A = this chain, B = another copy of it.
Amino acid sequence: MEIIRIPKIMQATAKGHLVRGRTIGFVPTMGALHDGHLSLVRRARQENDLTAVSIFVNPIQFSPAEDFQGYPRDIEVDTGKLLKEQVDILFMPDTKAMYPGGFLTHIEVEQISERLCGAFRPGHFRGVATVVAKLFHIVLPKRAYFGQKDYQQTRVIKRMTRDLDMDIEITVCPTVREKDGLAMSSRNAYLSAEQKRSAAVLFRCLSEAAASLESGIIRVQDITRGMQQILRDEPAITEVQYAGLFDPVTLGEIHEIGGDALLAIAVKMGDTRLIDNMLVMMKKER
C-alpha cells in the first residue's frame, strides 16, 4: 500500500494510472475506520483496477462548537485495516496541504444541504461538498463509495457531481450494523457501554415505522408520532432533532403516503449526535 501525503503527488500518481487506462475506486473517509468503511473498500476493490482510500478529518465541515478536535483518530489501527483489505493507495494529507493560506472557495448545494442535519449543522454540507470536490480532483476516481448511513451526504454529493458535470459514479452502499441494529459510526466510540445499548433504539424505531407502513398505517402523522414516542421513551436520548418521513430526493417533509420515502432520525445522547435512516417503499393502495 502506497501512502501519499502530498496532494500534487497523489494527483500525479492518479494521472499515471489514468493514462494507462486503469480505473480508480475511491473511498473518502475521516478515519476511525469500522466495518462500514471496510464494506465500501471491498466494493471498490471488486469494481475497479485500483482502490484508493483517503483519511482526512476535514475541519471545514465541523462548526466551532462541534467535535473536530476530539474526533477519534487512530492512524495505526486504520492503516492495519486497510493493508489487510489490500488497498492500493492511502491518501492522508494534512490540513495545511488541503487548506493553504488564502483559501477562499466553497461549493454549496442549495436546498438539500439546508434540510435534516443541515438545519442543525449550518455549513456542514458546504464543507463536505467542498472537500469531496477537492478529493475528487486529487484522486481522479472513476467511482466513489459512500455509506447510506450518511444519507443526506450521499444526496449532496450526487447532486454536486451531476450539477458540476464531474465524470464520477457515486455508489451508495448499505449501512453496516451491530448485531443489535446500531448503525456503525466512528462517533459510536464516544458512547458509554450503557449509551451504546440504548442507542439500538434508533434502529428499532426505524424498523417499527417501516413495519407500520407495511401493515397499512397510512397516515404520515401517525408514523411520525410513533417514531417520536419511541425515541422520547428512551431516557438516554437527551434531544430528538428530527424523526420522521422525508422525500428521498428533495429531503423535504412528506405529507402524503405514496412512492419511496426516507425514514430518518437524528438524536443526541449527551454530547454525542447519532443519526440513522431507512429507505422504504410506500404503497398508496393496500
A75 at the interface (CB under 8 A from B): no
- Kindly state whether residue A269 has any CB partner on chain B within 8 Å: no
In the complex, per-residue mask of A159-173: 1 if CB is within 8 Å of any chain B CB, else 0: 110011111000000
Do A105 and B160 touch (CB < 8 A)? yes
A104 at the binding interface (Cβ < 8 Å):
yes
The digit string for A1-43, where 1 denotes a CB below 8 A from any CB of B, is 0000001000100010011010000000000000000000000
Chain A residues bordering chain B, tally (CB within 8 A): 30
Q: Are A105 and B107 in contact (CB under 8 A)?
A: yes
Does A112 interact with chain B (Cβ within 8 Å)? Answer: yes
Question: Knowing A19-B21, A134-B164 touch, does A107 contact B104 (C-beta < 8 A)?
Answer: no
Contact partners of A108 in chain B: CB under 8 A:
105-108
A137 within 8 A of B: yes
Q: Are B167 and A15 in contact (CB under 8 A)?
A: yes
Closest beta carbon of chain B to A28's beta carbon, Å: 13
Q: Are B137 and A167 in contact (CB under 8 A)?
A: yes
- Please give, as numbers and ranges, the residues of chain B lying within 8 Å of A107 by CB-CB distance: 105-108, 164
